[in-house]
A and B are shown apart, each in its own frame.
Chain A
Amino acid sequence: MDNKKRDILAENSGLRSKPYAVPEGYFESFKADMKHIAQPQQTPLLHRLVPYASIAAVFVFLVAAGTFFLQKFTPAEDFTQEDYLVFSHSSMNVEYYDTMDQIADAEIAAEDIIEYLIYSGITPEEIEIFK
């Protein structure tokens, strides 16, 4: 038969059938698992209090840390403006550059790159142009 006139997709209705096997009992166990999603969960009181307790603990820690920091690093009265500038330059900037070096040295996982690309809205086709 002329190959151009043939329509292999229409001639072979068996092509529409499912060609993959599924593990036995898969659908039943999947349905049972999914139905648990919709069950309202009874959480014990203790578990419900955990988030509130965590927030309170973080708050207490921040207040304590802030108080400690202010007491330790507030310049004394005889601390001159010049002293203050030297102090802030030597401590803050060194930390800043250290952090930048750490960021530059850190390896970025392929997964993170992919997540970033997806959420940046760029399409794989746009990247392929530059390949």
Chain B
Amino acid sequence: MSVLFSVTDDRIIELYNSGQQEVAFNGIVDAYTERLYWHVRRFLCSHEDTNDLLQDIFIKIWAALPNFRGEARLYTWLYRIATNEVLNHLRKQKFKALVSLDSASGILERKIDEDTSFNGDQMQRELHKAIQRLPEKQRIVFSLRYFDEMKYEEISEITDTTVGALKASYHHAYNKIKDDLQKIF
């Protein structure tokens, strides 16, 4: 997957380094809007929340682009910005839930149940609800590994966590979700 992306990424970096910042940013928007949208939506569930956060993410990317030194790969750098924004948003939701004496995962599970744009089957619905019940870090690792099929080394760059710790987190998350689903189906 990353090999396929890297051709475009190289071109984007080339454009940026040659002083065509706007063209490079437009390249990022073209290449990453859908990928980042789905990455964010898996955590936020609602389209409206995802749309708002995605706008913030691209504004952050545009603002942070001059700081991109090419030490990390472009796509892990972009996912890192998106993931940090998602985590901040989830933290905010968690505080909101605490203030209203509700549970953040409960709110997200209800969002999935009530979402009229959810067109998956019952097993997918239960899968996405089970993901919301995972601790933050396990949720991130599971999503990047299971859905985006990223390598542990890439997830490590995004989350700043060792490969060993990521493997353990994924293993726990995978088994928890598997058990949850197998109780129902």
Residues of A within 8 A of B (CB): 3, 6-9, 12, 14-23, 26-27, 30-31, 33-35, 37-40, 110, 113-114, 117-118, 123-124, 127-128, 131
Contact = CB atoms under 8 A, between A and B. Distances in A.
Contact of B47 (A6, A23, A35, A39): A23
Given A9-B146, A30-B51, A118 B91 contact: yes
B15 to A, nearest CB: 12
Interface stretch (B74-82, B92-100, B157-165): B92-100
Nearest to A116: B95
Interface of B: 21-22, 25-26, 29-30, 33-34, 37-38, 41, 47, 51, 54-55, 58-59, 62, 88, 91-92, 94-100, 104, 115, 117-121, 123-125, 127-128, 146-147, 174, 177-178, 181-182, 185
A37 B119 contact: no
Contacts of A16: 146-147
Contacts, number: 102
B117 A21 contact: yes
Interface of A is mostly: helix
B117 A22 contact: yes
Contacts of B22: 38-40
30 contacts: A6-B182, A7-B178, A8-B123, A8-B185, A9-B127, A9-B177, A14-B121, A14-B124, A18-B38, A19-B118, A19-B120, A19-B121, A20-B47, A22-B117, A30-B51, A30-B54, A37-B25, A37-B62, A39-B22, A40-B22, A114-B95, A114-B96, A114-B99, A117-B95, A118-B92, A124-B91, A124-B95, A124-B97, A124-B98, A127-B95
